[in-house]
Amino acid sequence: MSSDTATITKAAPAAGTTTAPRTGTTRRRRRPFGPRAGLVALAVVLSAVSIFPVLWMITSSFKTRTTVTDGKLIPTDLTWSNFAYVFTEVPFVRWLFNSFITAAVVTAVALLFHSMAAYALARLKFPGRDGIFVVIFSTLLITAPVILIPLFVVVRTLGMLDSYAALIIPPLFNAFGIFLLRQFYLGIPKELEEAAIVDGCGYWRVYWNIILPLSRPILSALSVFFFLANWNAFAWPLVATNGADLTVIQVGIASFSTQYGANWNYVLAAAVVAVIPMLALFLVFQRQMVESIKTSGLK
Amino acid sequence: MTSIVPHTAHQPQAPAADAAPSAGGRRLSRTHREWLAAALFLLPDGIGLGVFVVLPMFLSIALSFFQVSGFGSYEWIGLGNYQRMLNDPYFWSSIWVTAKYVVVMVPTLFCVSLALGVLMKQKLPGMAAYRTAFFLPHMLSLVVVGLLWKFMLDEQTGVVNKAASALGMNPLSWLGDPDLALYAVIAVTVWYMMGYYMIIFLAGLNEIPQELYEAAKLDGAGTWTAFRRITWPLLRPTSFFVLIMTTVAAITGTFDLVFVLTSGGPANGTAVAMFYIYQQAFVFGEYGYAAALGSFLVLIMVALSGLIFKVTKGGRFDDEQ
Amino acid sequence: MYSQRREHTMLQHGNEAVVPAAPTRRRFLGAAAAGAAAAATPLLTGCGGPAKADGGTLKFWYFYDAHSPDPSDRARAKWFQDVVKDWNADHEVKVELYYVPGDSYQGSKMVTAFASEAGPDIFLLSPGDFLRYQNGGILADLTPHMEKGVIEDYGSSLDSRMVDGKVYALPMEVEPLAMYYNVPVWEKAGLSEADIPVTWDEMLDVGDKLRAKAGAGLVFQTDPGYYQNFTWYPWMWQGGGDVVDENGKAGFDSRAARQALSLWQDAVQAGIAPRTMPAADDLLTSFTSGLAGMWQSGIWEISGFRTSAPKHKYGVFKLPVPPGGKYTTVLGGWSFCASTQGRNPEIAAEFCAWALGGMNDESVNRTVDWCTSSKSDIAPRASALERAAKKGGYDFWAMKKFKEEIFPGGRAEPRYPPVVYKAVSDAIQATMLGGKGVAGETDRAARSIEAFMQSYEGASLI
């Protein structure tokens, strides 16, 4: 517990008085090729590098079985057959549906649970708070492979194997969200809720009417993260379910590569289709994700 | 089948602490009301983490005292697995690989994500497109990531070597050379994760009141000074979070990438500890031994996180006691 | 403190509600979980999944996808479905197929299921895993259910699936390794059939010529794993070396092992063999895209070419031999097994023996169909091989070559336990890709194998 952040907050405006040597001119006029143009160029170049493998994936998904790995970026022979195959020959829509249900339910329920827990850990005072936080935090250090078999046994003992419950319930509980939200809630100005509590609002109302609306940006980011994590889940669904009805998208895609060689063209086509919903989700949420908290909106 | 409980359904179940204190009955003091509320808020996650994470972990620790053939036959051997661990050169070399991995990967990922976050905070035209481009890699599944980079990094046909030879460099076998493979895996990991942490940094940056920058500007502070005196200190909770998470991910979460890129090769050059544990458990069926290694690794991470907590003072805001 | 003990007791699986107290008993984990998580839930043992009312159906896990993009894969899945349909037609206890994706088949899913007694009743097993399962007491004895004369009919292809004269797995197929060469690249390099290498040196020379025309002149498996070891053994055997000699003694430190390691090392260091697999380990695409000239692989590639690139010209030849060496190749292939953990091991064993281990026409024909129409493999039983040849299953030039030249002189894939596998794998990786000295690595592997053998108590390694 240090109080230096607070002092810095106060001191920051004054920081300028300990003058940074002024460089350049005091002109405020934007130069046409100033640092901004440089930043734009940088952003463009970095984006291109970041996105290149994805472009390669998209173009390769239009190649045939025999040319898919020829290393060319532009396919010599375009074909839609990989996509046609994916939607006609395998129960791809069913896989998408299973993944969607799993990811959506996990995201919604986990966000509620995690934000509740994070609110208590960040905003309420009770004995043993730090101890409980440390315990919750330490569950982050426990990794799936270490507990895969015992987890399987627990889930089986609870009679949840081979059901949506097996796909949904265990992934709900992950300290990542609690930890991130707690870090975030620590930064929300206290005055907001203290006023409400003095007014006699209960804790639930404070949480529901003040904290949750305030955390919209971070909840948006988390919902994208959670949805993605569950959309791309492979190891647990593979172990926890049998049979075609509960196959999720990643396990389905895995079935395109066999013991005797892989059909990379189908894998890539399926992967392209699987990414589209995620991209849509990201585009929908990104505005909220990056918007600042508007404290002024609070009466 | 679980059904989605609509949010509204939760409101009637609001913690009892919500009840107006004048509603008769026993009145709790404010302090106790707060305790009760906290308990109820923590309940769902507490139970879930207990049943699905903590309990399996304890079972795993219990397992580590047994010799398990992988077929459910258990034989009590006490600390036998731990003794074996001490004398297992493979395990220690995998710890060494992990250490190298962490030391290189964590700072790199941290700096790249922070730089991207700061870059994305500038008001540039086409921001949404850049953000999407940086986050896009993280939308792919690991199997596909492994496949893509196997092609990108291929010695003969890979685009990386083609670009390198255009710059007059010799082609290298990025994934086939023990000295390079780990760094290739790190580069892919950074590419895969940077958009994710960029978003987290952005959220943190957005929390910093804009007025501070305005004030600093009026005082004539330069960009760098503003970063050092305002951004960096106020970003501490986020930085702390990212630092911890990337360290944990480097130790535990990356073995899937190793799996799809190199299978731990060449010559064990990318066999990180988690990969070795996975191999012991799921390839060799030595489940008791794997449980011992896993428990040990979790211990190491507890110690490491404790250290990070101590050094960064928990990265928390000052909280009145 | 490391020995694999055999379980001598066959454990009964009733629906015991009583949890054994002794922690040395099985179901310790389940008991603990039950105690902690569900307290009073009596443990359902022995069978996977929740207690569905499935009247004791036996679960058969396999990895051929009925929805595969590859028509031959679909045909393989259909073969399994037909076997199960035939069985279910006149047996009271039914068998049900479950598809598990190929790459994950032997990995986490199978291990997790078996470790918590939710494994399949019937499953497929590769030779490399045989001993681990056998020592774990998981494989049911199939001998009592097999008809007279079947063991002789299988001949040596059954050796690696037997322990103390009892059969624990029935092979469906035999898959020899050979060298494939890419005709278009071969011609570009000005080579003809006359240039097919017979010795190691000739192979390296040809590889060197091909390298200029294709990225990879000669492809050996580079990814560490059971499969890489499997492809490396024949090069050692050809020089008369072995990991474990016929008396069960460790003998890895031999000239033959060193020269086999050197072969792979030289090929990589001269740039003839690549350090990573071309086209993400897909021979077919590498050949059609002209990325590789020669590639060591198995008979199964034939059906791959047949379905996906029927026009592409390729050739096959026997593995070349070292000076003074003797031709040998390695024979892989999967087999049917029954689990002792299942709800009815007797019937599961009976199913395996009924499917593949009968002397009747149906049983023999199943193997014939599998090896020649569903796949392109050598049939493991003499009678089936003869019948398949009569039907024209080996008329195709590549199949003929495999049957007549490549398969004779083959040796079954070894069934070494994990420690031995790892020692050999590390030697291969360190010399081939790590550039380490061959002598030192051979010595290190030999010592590690020897130390393991001294405390090993399981079934014989050979």
CA–CA distances in Å: residue C14 to residues C11, C44, C341, C342, C376: 10, 9, 11, 11, 43
Strand, coil or helix: C57:
coil
Instruction: Examine the pLDDT at C47 and tell me if it is beyond 60.
Output: no
What are the start-end ranges of the E strands in C28-135? 58-62, 95-99, 122-125
Instruction: Write down the pLDDT at residue A25.
Output: 43
Residue C24 has what pLDDT? 43
Q: Does pLDDT of C15 surpass 70?
A: no
Nearest-by-Cβ selection for C69 from A71, A91, A263: A263
Chain C 296-335, residues with CB within 8 Å of chain A CB atoms: 300-301, 304, 308-309, 312
Distances (CA, A) of C371 to A292, C87, C380: 65, 20, 9
Contacts of A180 in chain B (CB under 8 A): 200, 241
Helix or strand or coil: residue C125? strand
Rounded CA gap, B90 and A106, in Å?
38
Q: How large is the C-alpha radius of gyration of chain C?
A: 23
d(CA B94, CA B270): 8
H-helix or E-strand spanning residue A289:
helix A264-290
> Residue B93 in contact with residue B100, Cβ under 8 Å?
no
Smallest CA–CA distance from A114 into chain B, residue? B45
How do residues A221-279 score in pLDDT, each as one tens digit? 999 999 999 999 988 999 998 878 899 999 888 888 776 667 888 889 999 999 999 99
Query: What percentage of chain C exceeds 70 in pLDDT?
Result: 87
For residues C42 and B107, the model is more confident at B107
- B180 pLDDT exceeds 90? yes
Distance in angstroms (rounded) separating the CA atoms of residues C182 and C279: 15
Least confident of A85-99, B132-146, B296-310: B296-310
The pLDDT-based confidence of C53 (bands split at 50, 70, 90) is: very low
The DSSP letter of residue C47 is S
Residue by residue, DSSP assigns C340-384 as: TTSS-HHHHHHHHHHHHS-SSHHHHHHHHHIIIIIS--B-SSHHH
Q: What is the dihedral of CA C317, C322, C325, C331, to 10 degrees?
A: -40
Contact map slice: C 133-192 vs B, CB within 8 A: 133, 135-138
Task: Give the Cβ contact number of residue A254 at 10 Å.
Answer: 21
The nearest CA of chain A is from the CA of B291 a distance in Å of 6
Query: Does the CB of B250 have a partner CB in chain A at under 8 Å?
Result: no
Which of A183, A186, A188, A250 is the best substitution to test chain B (most B C-beta atoms within 10 A)?
Answer: A183
Mean pLDDT of A89-96: 89
Write the DSSP assignment of B2-69 as a string of letters.
--PPPHHHHTTT--GGGS-TTSSSPPPPHHHHHHHHHHHHHHHHHHHHIIIIIHHHHHHHHHTTEEE-
Average confidence score pLDDT of chain A: 82
Contacts of C41 (CB under 8 A, 6+ apart): A157, A158, A159, C34
Residue C103: predicted pLDDT:
66
What is the pLDDT, as a whole number, of residue B266?
95
Scanning every residue of chain C, which has its alpha carbon at the shortest distance from the alpha carbon of B59? C29
Q: Do B176 and C274 touch (CB under 8 A)?
A: yes
Residue C29 pLDDT:
52
Residue B140 is nearest to which of A2, A5, A275, comparing CB atoms? A275
Residue B318 has pLDDT above 80, yes or no: no
Q: Strands C58-62 and C314-317, how do they pair?
A: unpaired
C122-125 and C335-338: which strand pairing?
Answer: antiparallel
Cβ-based contacts of C429 with chain B (< 8 Å): 265-268
B25 phi-psi bin (left φ>0, alpha ψ -120 to 50, beta other): left
Copy the structure tokens of residue B59: 């079972």
Q: Which helix (H) or strand (E) holds B270?
A: none
Quick one: average pLDDT of C230-255? 91
Asked if A100 has any chain B CB less than 8 Å from its own CB, the reply is no
In whole angstroms, give the CA distance from residue B147 to residue A272: 13
List b or e across A85-109, with b for residues whose CB sees 16 or more CB atoms inside 10 angstroms. Answer: bbeeebebebbbebbbbbbbbbbbb
- The confidence band for B4, taking pLDDT boundaries of 50, 70 and 90, is very low
Does A154 lie at the interface with C, CB-CB under 8 angstroms?
Answer: yes
C305-317 mean pLDDT: 93
- Computed on alpha carbons and rounded to an integer, the radius of gyration of chain B in Å comes to 25
**Which subunits have 3 or more CB–CB pairs within 8 Å of chain B?**
A, C
Digit-coded pLDDT (tens) for A21-59: 444 444 445 555 567 888 899 999 999 999 999 999 999
User: Count of alpha carbons within 13 Å of A271, Cβ hemisphere only?
Assistant: 33
Percent of chain C past pLDDT 90, that is, above it, reads 67
Query: Which tens digit of pLDDT belongs to each residue from C322-335?
Result: 999 999 999 999 99
d(CA B100, CA B206): 33
The whole-angstrom separation of Cα C26 and Cα C69 is 42
B62: which 2 tokens? 């219990």
Q: Over range C39-59, report the average pLDDT.
A: 47
The chain-wide mean pLDDT, for chain C, equals 86
Residue (of C224, C239, C268, C201) closest to C428 by Cα position:
C224
Contact C26 B73 (CB under 8 A): yes
CB A224 within 8 A of CB A285: yes
- Residue in A with minimal Cα distance to C301: A260
For residue C281, is pLDDT > 70?
yes
> Under a CB-based contact definition with an 8 Å cutoff, are residues B276 and B94 in contact?
yes
**pLDDT per position as a tens digit, C233-242:** 999 999 999 9
Picking from B66, B121, B144, B174 by the largest number of A CB atoms within 10 A of its own CB, the best residue to mutate is: B144
Q: How confident is the model at residue C108 (pLDDT cuts 50, 70, 90)?
A: confident
Average pLDDT for C213-233: 94
Q: How far is B228 from chain C (nearest CA, A)?
A: 45
C-alpha triplet A268, A272, A274: angle, nearest 5°: 115
At A172 the pLDDT is 95
Strand partners, C314: C182
Contact yes or no for B267 and C418 at CB 8 A: no
The interface residues of chain A toward chain C in range 193-252, judged by CB-CB distance below 8 A, are 235, 238-239, 242-244, 251
- Between CA C178 and CA C105 the distance in angstroms is 25
Read off the pTM: 0.86
Q: Which two tokens stand for residue C60?
A: 């058969």
Distance CA B283, CA B288 (A): 13
Q: Nearest CB to A289: which of B52, B144, B199?
A: B199
Which CA distances in Å does C321 have to C37, C240, C300?
61, 11, 22
Question: Hey, are the CB atoms on B45 and A208 less than 8 Å from each other?
Answer: no
Of the partner residues A157, A243, A255, the one whose CB lies closest to the CB of residue C98: A243
Answer yes or no: do A148 and C108 touch at CB < 8 A: yes
pLDDT of B26 higher than 70? no
Helix, strand, or coil here: C1?
A: coil
Does B282 contact C27 at a Cβ distance shorter than 8 Å? Answer: no
Mutation target vs B (from A107, A112, A149, A293; most B CBs, 10 A cutoff): A149
Return the SS3 of A162.
Answer: coil
pLDDT for residue B210: 84
Residue C4's closest chain B neighbor by CA? Answer: B69
Categorize the per-residue pLDDT at C94 as very low, low, confident or very high, splitting at 50, 70 and 90.
Answer: very high
Give the model's confidence band at C440: pLDDT under 50 very low, under 70 low, under 90 confident, else very high: very high
Looking at residue C216, what DSSP letter applies?
Answer: E
Confidence bin at A5 (pLDDT 50/70/90):
very low
CB contact set of B28 (below 8 Å; sequence gap of 6+): B17, B21, B36
**Residue among A68, A91, A153 minimizing CB distance to C30:** A153
pLDDT tens track for C348-380: 999 999 999 999 999 999 999 999 988 889 999
Considering only the beta carbons, identify the residue of C102, C109, C309 that sits closest to A239.
Answer: C109
pLDDT of residue A32: 53
Mean pLDDT of C277-298: 92
Interface of B with A in 47-86 (CB under 8 A): 48-49, 51-57, 59-60, 63
Percent of chain B scoring above 70 in pLDDT:
88
pLDDT classification of C146: cutoffs 50, 70, 90: very high
Tens digit of each residue's pLDDT (9 = 90 or more) over B271-302: 999 999 999 988 888 889 999 999 999 988 88
